[in-house]
Amino acid sequence: MNKNYLVSLLAVIGLFVIAWVGSAIGLKWLFGIVIPYAALVVFVAGVWRKVMGWARSPVPFRIPTTCGQQKTMPWIKQAAIENPSTKGGVFVRMLLEILAFRSLFRNTRMKMREGKLSYNLEIFLWVGALAFHYAFLTTLVRHLRFFTEPIPSWVSLIEKVDSFFRVEIMYDPIHFGLPGIYVSGLVLLAAVTYLFLRRLFVRPVRYISLASDYFPLFLIMGIALTGIFMRYFTKVDITSIKELTMGLVTFHWSIPEGIGNLFFVHLFFVSVLLAYFPFSKLMHMGGVFLSPTRNLTANTREVRHVNPWNYPVKVHTYEAYEDEFREKMIEAGLPVEKMPEPKPEEPKEEKE
């Protein structure tokens, strides 16, 4: 069972070594320019292909999971979001799913004690998932400062809010200060660690976990760790890095001196994540928008849904039914469509 995460961990360590050694032996252009471009292309093309593939399959039936009171008579209050009959209701339902993980918030945990079952709210997965995704998003957004010049004010603002906490020691003998601490980075690392530990220690979750569940976690852990390390400990040269990243955006490539190997590891991890994304479960990011149990109105009796491939089928007609049971039906006094033909009388033999 441990094979699944060991393999993933080894894979990520392997990636680390590849990038470190590669950058150390002077393949910085490969890891700094070629691979990031290739990864981005694979990401965009892969996601496009996958989403288009989903979209190509029609939605033959409108089968939302209804999680609240249906629209019915006016004096019964409808759950307009959990069981939406309008596009607006669906929009809010999807918004809540995507931004607040509404369904995951319902999570309960079953316990059995002396033959009695109980189901209590289990909020940690929801908290962990929410923390993880928002921290990831914030981290992503504040990295835009490496890819824009001038930096848009909203990016700076998010960065400022994010780095609200500071650690500084202003003491005469020692002057020590860390750059503003990004809460998002730490939350990301904590959340991803929680998600990993949960896979490892919650038995049913460990049982269902595949190598492809651990791999992205380790990869993201690697990204967060290398990032944190560069910012707070090795103190990389931000100016040079920005020169490189802006070069990528403006197609004026350059590999400035003085960028440590760790940066290339960081960038390589991100590249691998991008390239891996479209072929993995990470596509849930796109899929959540397309899930027919959530993104459709639940008013199928009110508005007809059309199935593009609906085809005629063989049915047992009433005529065939009556043909089989006609006599019994008549005997029982049930109305029939066709009265049986009166039996032709035996032709009497005429005697001369």
Partner 1 sequence: MADETPKPSELLAKLDHRPPATGWMDTPVEIRKGMYCYAANPKSVKALGLPNARQWNPLDDDWKLPDNWQQILHEGFKERLEKFRTFKVFMDICVRCGACADKCHFFIGTGDPKNMPVLRAELLRSVYRNDFTTFGRILGRLGGARPMTMNVLKEWWYYMFQCTECRRCSVFCPYGIDTAEITIMGRELLNLLGLNIDWIATPVANCYRTGNHLGIQPHAFKDMIDFFCDDIEEITGIRPNPQFNKKGADILFITPSGDVFADPGTYTCMGYLMLFHFLQEKYGFDITWSTYASEGGNFGFFTSHEVMKRLNAKMYLEAKRLGVKWILGGECGHMWRVIHQYMDTMNGPADFLEEPVNPVTGTKFENAKSTKMVHIAEFTADLIKHGKLDLDPSRNDNKIITFHDSCNPARGMGMFEEPRYVIRNVANHFYEMPANTIRENTFCCGSGAGLNAGENMELRMAGGLPRANAVKYVHEKFGVNMLACICAIDRAALPTSMEYWVPEMDVTGLHELVANALILPGEKQRETDLRGEPLPGMEDADE
Question: Binders of partner 1 among 71-90, rule CB under 8 A?
Answer: 71-73, 75-77, 79, 82-83, 85
Min separation Cβ 159 and partner 1, Å:
29
Choice between 133 and 242, CB closer to partner 1: 133
Q: Kindly state whether residue 291 participates in binding partner 1, applying the rule CB under 8 A.
A: yes
The Cα–Cα gap between 350 and 339 comes to: 31
Choice between 172 and 331, CB closer to partner 1: 331
Min separation Cβ 226 and partner 1, Å:
24
Label residue 267 exposed, middle or buried (CB < 10 Å: 0-12, 13-18, 19+). buried
Q: For strands 116-121 and 168-170, give the pairing.
A: unpaired
Min separation Cβ 221 and partner 1, Å:
16
For 230, which DSSP code?
I
- CB half-sphere exposure, 108, CA atoms < 13 A: 6
Q: Which of 25, 52, 306, 339 binds partner 1 (CB under 8 A)?
A: 306
Choice between 33 and 42, CB closer to partner 1: 42
Q: Which amino acid is at 97?
A: E
- Collect all residues with Cβ–Cβ distance below 8 Å to 4 and sequence separation of at least 6: 209, 210, 211, 213, 214
Min separation Cβ 21 and partner 1, Å:
24
- Collect all residues with Cβ–Cβ distance below 8 Å to 280 and sequence separation of at least 6: 212, 216
- Collect all residues with Cβ–Cβ distance below 8 Å to 150 and sequence separation of at least 6: none
Contact status, residue 206 vs residue 224, Cβ threshold 8 Å:
no
Q: Kindly state whether residue 332 participates in binding partner 1, applying the rule CB under 8 A.
A: yes
Q: Which two tokens stand for residue 129?
A: 């998932």
Q: Which of 33, 68, 186, 243 binds partner 1 (CB under 8 A)?
A: 68
Q: For strands 168-170 and 175-177, give the pairing.
A: antiparallel
The per-residue DSSP string of 245-268 comes to HHHHHHT-----TT--HHHHHHHH
Q: Tell me which stretch binds partner 1 (CB under 8 A): 62-70, 159-167, 173-181, 237-245.
A: 62-70
Choice between 115 and 258, CB closer to partner 1: 115
Binding marks (x or -) toward partner 1, 12..51, rule CB under 8 A? --------------------------------------x-
Looking at residues 205 to 224 of the shown chain, list those that interact with partner 1 (rule: CB under 8 A): 205, 207-213
Q: Which two tokens stand for residue 310?
A: 């609906």
Min separation Cβ 30 and partner 1, Å:
23
Q: Which of 309, 340, 341, 349 binds partner 1 (CB under 8 A)?
A: 309
Angle (deg, nearest 10), helices 211-229 and 3-24: 40
Choice between 156 and 212, CB closer to partner 1: 212
Q: Which of 26, 53, 173, 344 binds partner 1 (CB under 8 A)?
A: 53
- Collect all residues with Cβ–Cβ distance below 8 Å to 287 and sequence separation of at least 6: 54
Choice between 125 and 259, CB closer to partner 1: 125
Choice between 20 and 279, CB closer to partner 1: 279
Q: Tell me which stretch binds partner 1 (CB under 8 A): 31-39, 170-178, 248-256, 309-317.
A: 309-317
Q: Kindly state whether residue 266 participates in binding partner 1, applying the rule CB under 8 A.
A: no
Looking at residues 85 to 144 of the shown chain, list those that interact with partner 1 (rule: CB under 8 A): 85, 97, 101, 103-104, 106-110, 112, 115-117, 119, 125, 129
Contact status, residue 259 vs residue 237, Cβ threshold 8 Å:
yes
Q: Which amino acid is at 34?
A: V
Site size toward partner 1, by CB under 8 A: 100
- Collect all residues with Cβ–Cβ distance below 8 Å to 35 and sequence separation of at least 6: 267, 268, 271
Q: Kindly state whether residue 180 participates in binding partner 1, applying the rule CB under 8 A.
A: no
